[in-house]
Structure 1
C-alpha cells in the first residue's frame, strides 16, 4: 500500500512537503512517517489524500494482494 501511495504522489508531481501542507501537518517528516507506515492515516487524512490524488480511498489504501512484509508481525 505504501509503495502505491508514494508512486501515485510522484506521478502527480507532488512532494512530501506539498502533501504535508495539504493535510495540515507541520513538517514534511510528519507526512513521510505516514507514507512509510510509521504513523497511521486517519479517515479524514485518507479522504484528503484521495481528493488530492484523484483516486478512491480503496485504490490508494487497499490492495487485493498481501505482501510478505504485510504478513510479518510488528
Structure 2
C-alpha cells in the first residue's frame, strides 16, 4: 500500500498530531501511524471515526482499493 499523503495533509491542516487523532478516535497512536503510512487498512468503523474527527468522507480510505482491483465492488 502507498502512504496516505491526503490523510497526512488533512491532519496537518487541522493542526493535530497523530497522538491527538488516535486519542479522539479511541485507537493507539502506532495503529494510526500505520494507517497513515499505508501499512494497515482501517476497519470501516475506525475509518468512520477518523473521518468524523477530521471532517472528510470515510469512503476515501477505500477508493484506491476499488480502482486497483476491478473485481471489488465500490458500492456498499
Q: Tell me the distance in 2 between the aligned counterparts of 1:4 and 1:20.
A: 17
CA-atom RMSD in angstroms: 2.1
Task: Give the gaps of 5 or more residues in structure 1.
Answer: none
Aligned to 1:49: 50
Whose relative contact order is higher, 1 or 2, with alpha carbons under 8 Å and at least 6 apart?
1
Q: How many residue pairs were aligned?
A: 63
Q: Which residues in structure 2 correspond to 1:8-47 (within 5 Å)?
A: 8-26=10-28, 28-47=29-48
| Structure-1-length-normalised TM-score | 0.70
Task: Give the gaps of 5 or more residues in structure 2.
Answer: 69-76
